[in-house]
Structures are given as structure tokens and as C-alpha cells.
Structure 1
Amino acid sequence: MTGLLTRSTIVVVTWRGKDHVGACLDAVAAQTRPHRLLVVDNASDDGTAAVLAAHPSKPEVLRLPVNSGYAGALAAVSVDTEFTAWLNDDAEPAPDWLERLEDTLDQHEQAAAAGARMVAPDGAVISLGVGLTADGHGVDLTDEAAPVFGFCGGAALLRTGALRRAGGVPARFFCYYEDTDTAWRLRLANHTIVSVPDARVIHRHGASTRPGSRRFHLWNERNRLAMLLRCAPVAVAAREVARFAAITALLPLRRLARHRAGPPPWNFRVGLRLRVLGELLASLPRTLRERKAVTDLAEIPRSAVWRASRSPNPPG
């Protein structure tokens, strides 16, 4: 659906989505607001291309030569509309999803992003936005009264210009924490982020990735620390990297002391944690350059954003 009144580009990222991307496109086609639809196919090899080609909405498709992850796919697109929507291929937005997000950003001029209500197929709330814990983890919020720090990137609307000025999407994150890193940079640019509980999306969580898997924990642990090194106050970032390293060093002793039967979760396996630390060390020069770029673009101090995120009522 395109036309003179098109204000948003909906970017659907898919990878081996043959079994669910059709339902996502059906829901996008039913939106009450005109939009540009762009599907980024991460080199799917399961028949996804045929599903996209046959869909009645005839989506514009950008097929990447390799799987660059959710973050890499978002970073690969060129958008010239006022807003950019991020949408998982296993998500099905309600018909008024885009309408409610656009209207909310119109009402909140300082807001650079609006997050949706993401629910499971049984109606259970998965996320109303993202909060920050005391150790810098991003956590999905399920209470409408809870103030949000960021948005869940599986179904959100961003101001294209604000996103571009804040440095775009961190493509090298591949998957996970690209949304919270983006929220950090938007807030450093003195924008707010809002939650729109009436913008409802059914999310078949884990259809594309396996929560709890080795890769899931590798990406989560690595990207959280990279995000803090890029965006957080230096004391917070240094503390969390040091804590991660210290826990890694102590894990063998703790395991011997407890005589625990069976393998621990992936995020508490020494090998995975050593790989996280190795990747962080190898990319440190690049991360420090990125940190300087974030500093150059920031309008308010990192410490102010961090303090606000820890307060009962952070901005947004």
C-alpha cells in the first residue's frame, strides 16, 4: 500500500520464515494506514522466497547474500519515509497497529520511538517496552504502569531522521540488544521513548531463534556488554565487564563446591563466557571508536540518562 500519504516504511526481517512470514504479511496488508512494505530476506534457504513471491501484497524484497541477523538486515535498508517500523517475521500486528503508533508519535513530538504491546498467541503479555536493570540488562516490561527505557525491536515505530542522526542500527550486534542500544543513543540525543499499549501485536516468540540456546546466550551476553561499552557511563561499563569476568573465573570453583549434576545453562558455561570476553577484547578498538562517535552525537550526559533509567519515573 503506497501513495502520497505514506509516512511509514514497515521493514519485515525474515530468515527461514516459510512457515510464518505469510501470516505476518497478511496482517501488514490489513493495516488501516498506507505504508511502504519492505521485506529483508536473510538468505533463507527453506522456500521463504517462494512464499514472498506468491503473497498477494507483492512486497518489495531485499534478499541479502548471507544471513546478517536482525540488526544487520535493518542496517542494510534505505528508508526515506518519515517513520520506520521494525517488525519480526513471526509477529502479526492488529489492523490499527501502525495507525496507533503514528498517532502517538504525532502527539509526542520529543519521542523518537514508540513500542507496541506484544502478546503471545494465548494473549499473555510478552512486552510493553524495555526497562534497564541495575546491572544494565534490558528486560521486557509487562506492567502498563512501569516507565519504559526502550522499546522491543520486534514491533516498533521510529522517526527515521532521529534514528539516522543517532547512528542507525548497530549491524554488528547481529541479533539482540540492537533495540536497547538504539534506545540508549536516542535518549542521549535528548529524545524520549513511549509505550503504546493499544498497538497490539501477536508474537510467536522464538519461531526464528531458539531462546535458551547457545547462540541466544552468546549474542545476549556479548551485546549487552558491547552496548554498555558504547553507551553507558564508563564506570557502569567497566564495572559490568569486570563483574562478568570475575563470575567467569569463579564458576569452576562454584561448580565443584555444589557438585551440581548436569550441565549448567549456556550463560553459565565457562567456554561461552570466555568467548564473549574474547570477542569483546578483539573488538575493543572499534568499540572505543563507536563510543566516541556516540559521545559526539549526544546532547545530554550518559550519567543523566543512566540516573533517569534507575529512577521511579525515567523520561518517556
Structure 2
Amino acid sequence: MTAAAPRTTIVVVTWRGRAHITRCLDALAGQDRPHRTVIVDNASDDGTAALIAAHPSRPEVLRLPANRGYAGGLAAALPGVRTELVAWLNDDAAPEPGWLAALEDALDADPGAGAAGSALTAPDGGPASVGVRLTPLGYGADTAEPAEVFGFCGGAVLLRRAALAAAGGVPAGFFCYYEDTDTSWRLRLAGWTVRPVPAARADHLLGASTRPGSARFHLWNERNRLLMLLRCAPARVAARELARFAALTAVLPVRRLVGRPVPAAANFRLGLRLRVLGALAVRLPAAIRDRGRIGRRSVAARNEIWRTFAR
């Protein structure tokens, strides 16, 4: 009997993933649906490449000459994907054996869904995320409640390739963080829904490749949140949040000068916030052009999506 052709290409982006890439590949080898696996190696220099080459599943490898981040790695792989469905998977995630089957079945059961998100579990076994909710300030926040889901968590998700392409693909310039919430925004604007699939479980080490709470983490988070809002959100929300960020940045030195308390988190450091504003100034023309393109593709109203999900 001829084996069924795979419907899904699983794209795993790694950078210095030696400590966990074998665990991820073992989990993919245990899936009960046929699939193609593509590992995007962001110029790892820690022996990751040798571990991938030695793995018995023999995944395809796209090795990049420099680290383009998670978003850049996904964007580099997408032109080579020809299957109907494409999965994004963190290299520190290990899906359970029925993970891919649950996601494929969920999309088959819901033709209006452009993406099916996984249930990520923390190292202690507790729930970490079934998707992303949209906060009133425009942040994407992990939620363990399926009813709250606005978008998917990019750590483990299955998307319709055609829907992703029609919505504009992956924002490669984000490097990492918020590429998932931005893509969820664009899918919803294009008329697709995002479906959480609690049965599609994956263990996630969470932050194995980047350090949540670090200065770099906050730099990418703050910059990309504001870029996402400029590209996708109602204009009043994007303008409000940009003004709020700039105003707080201006106030911080005054608060310190008069002895008022300032939070210790890295995103309250003046230098980091000025770097965010500088990056936004450079990228603003492109973000405005992107906003126009996204608007021309949209069939849903930005304001209606905001009213429905921002809570």
C-alpha cells in the first residue's frame, strides 16, 4: 500500500538549540500523521547542526547564513512549502503523538478557520497557553481559556498555507515575538477565524532560546507590539498606544529626578525605550504602507475586531 502524501509541512526554527532539538525531533518522529519536517537553522554554532544531521528522522534542513530570528526563519522557509497546511513549531516544544492529527482534524471540521492553535503545557505539566487574548492596551497575552482566544501562540500552530499567504505571510522584520499576534490580526481581518484545539498538546520549555524578562526580550516585545498595532489595529488605538509609550518615556527621568518610584523591569529603562522609539521612527513609513496593504485585503472591520476581542 502506498503511504499517504503528507498534508502538512512542519517548520521548526532553531538557534543554538543543542539542549532541546533532539527532544523536539523525537516528538515529531512519533506523530501518527504523515508530514514533512523542515528545520530552519539560524546559523547555530553550538553543535545543533550535527545533532540534526544525526537524527534518524532525517529532517530537511534550511541553514541560514545569519540569525534571522523566529519570524525571519519562518519567512525564509515558507517559499519552499507546497503542502496544503504548514505548522510552526518552537525547537523547545515537544508535541504529544496525536498533536498533528488533532490540528488537522480541527481545520477539516471548520473550513472558516485559518489557524488551529495548540495547548502548550509548562515544564511542571500545568497549562501554559491555548492561544493569545487581546488586552485593552493592545498586548497579546497567553490564555488558558479557549473562550478568550483572539489568536494563536506561535510556539505550536497549524495554518492553512493559502490563508497565510493571502493574509501577507510572516512579518519577517519582527525577528521574534508578536509575529503570531500580528498574523492572527491579519487572518481575522481577512475573514478567517482562529480555533483553539485543547486536544493538540505540546510540552513547552518556554524561553529556552530567549530569556523572558531580559532587556532584549522587552525591546522586541515593546517594538513589535507597537508595530503590530500600527499595521493592524484601529488608527485611534495605534495612535493612543504610541502616544502613551512616548509620554511614559518622557516622564520616567522626571520621576527619578523627584524621587518617585520607577518599576525595576527592563522595559522601564529610559535607554531601552528610546531604542524602541528610534526603531519605530525608522520603520514607520514601511508600517504605514503595510497598513494600507492589509486594509485593502481586509473583509472585516478593524474596529469590530477590536470591540469583540480587546478585553
Category of TM-score, reference length = shorter chain: over 0.9
Map residues 33-72 of structure 1 onto 2, 5 A cutoff: 33-72=33-72
Q: Which amino acid aligns with 2:105?
A: D
Where in structure 2 are the equivalents of 1:128-147 lying within 5 Å?
128-144=130-146, 146-147=147-148
Q: Secondary structure at the match of 1:208?
A: coil
**Is 1:308–2:300 an aligned residue pair?**
no
**Alpha-carbon distance, 1:309 to partner:** 1.1
The one-letter code matched in structure 2 to 1:248 is: T
* SS at structure 2 position matched to 1:116: strand
Name the counterpart of 1:185.
186
Match of 1:210 in 2: 211
Secondary structure (helix, strand or coil) at the match of 1:244 reads: helix
Give the match's secondary structure for 2:212.
Answer: coil
How far did 1:3 drift? 5.1
Counterparts of 1:35-184 in structure 2, within 5 Å, are: 35-77=35-77, 78-144=80-146, 146-184=147-185
Instruction: Compute the displacement of 1:303 (Å).
Output: 1.0
Q: Distance in 2 between matches of 1:230 and 1:86?
A: 22
> SS in structure 2 opposite 1:10?
strand
Aligned twin of 1:314: none
Other-structure match for 1:284: 284
Aligned-partner residue type, residue 230 of structure 1 = R
CA distance in 1, matches of 2:132, 2:87: 17
Q: Which amino acid aligns with 2:229?
A: L
CA-to-aligned-CA distance 1:117-170 (integer Å, 9 cap, x gap):
1011211111110000001000000124x3210000000000000000100000
Could you say what secondary structure the match of 2:148 adopts?
A: coil
Mean CA deviation greater in 296-305 or 32-41: 296-305
1:105 match: secondary structure: helix
Give the deviation of 1:259 after TM superposition. 5.4
Unaligned runs of 5+ in 1: 312-316
* Cα RMSD, aligned residues only: 1.4
Alignment of 1:290-301 (within 5 A): 290-301=290-301
The 8 Å contact of residues 89 and 154 in structure 2, kept in 1 or not, is answered as yes
Distance (whole Å) between structure 2 residues aligned to residue 53 and residue 283 of structure 1: 38
Q: TM-score, normalization: structure 1?
A: 0.95
How far apart, CA to CA, are the structure 2 residues paired with 1:141 and 1:226? 22
Gap runs ≥5 in structure 2: none
Matches within 5 A, 1:4-23: 4-23=4-23
Separation in 1 of the partners of 2:3 and 2:96? 21
Q: Distance in 1 between matches of 2:221 and 2:255?
A: 23
How far did residue 257 of structure 1 move? 4.0
Letter in 1 for 2:175: F
Q: Say if 2:118 and 2:156, in contact at 8 Å, map to a contact too.
A: yes
How far residue 206 of structure 1 moved from its aligned partner, in angstroms, is 1.1
* Residue 248 (structure 2) aligns with: 247
User: Is the contact between residue 255 and residue 261 of structure 2 (CA under 8 Å) also seen in structure 1?
Assistant: no
TM-score (norm 2): 0.96
Quote how far apart the aligned CAs of 1:310 are.
3.0
What is the aligned-residue identity percentage?
63
2 CA distance for matches of 1:126 and 1:255?
Answer: 36
Q: Count residues in correspondence.
A: 308
Q: Secondary structure at the match of 1:225?
A: helix
Q: How far, CA to CA, are the matches of 1:210 and 1:60 in structure 2?
A: 28
Task: After TM superposition, list the pairs within 5 Å mapping 1:216-235 onto structure 2.
Answer: 216-235=217-236
Residue of structure 2 in register with 1:269 after alignment: 269
Name the amino acid aligned to 1:278: G
CA distance in 2, matches of 1:310, 1:65: 39
Separation in 2 of the partners of 1:171 and 1:238? 23
Paired with 2:40 and 2:179, the residues of 1 have a C-alpha distance of 17
- Give the match for residue 31 of structure 2: 31
How many angstroms does 1:264 deviate by? 2.1
Amino acid at match of 1:310: A
Determine the C-alpha separation between the residues in 1 that align with 2:256 and 2:136.
26
Alignment partners' CA distance in 2, 1:301 and 1:95: 39
Deviation at 1:255? 2.8
Cα displacement (A) at 1:5: 2.9
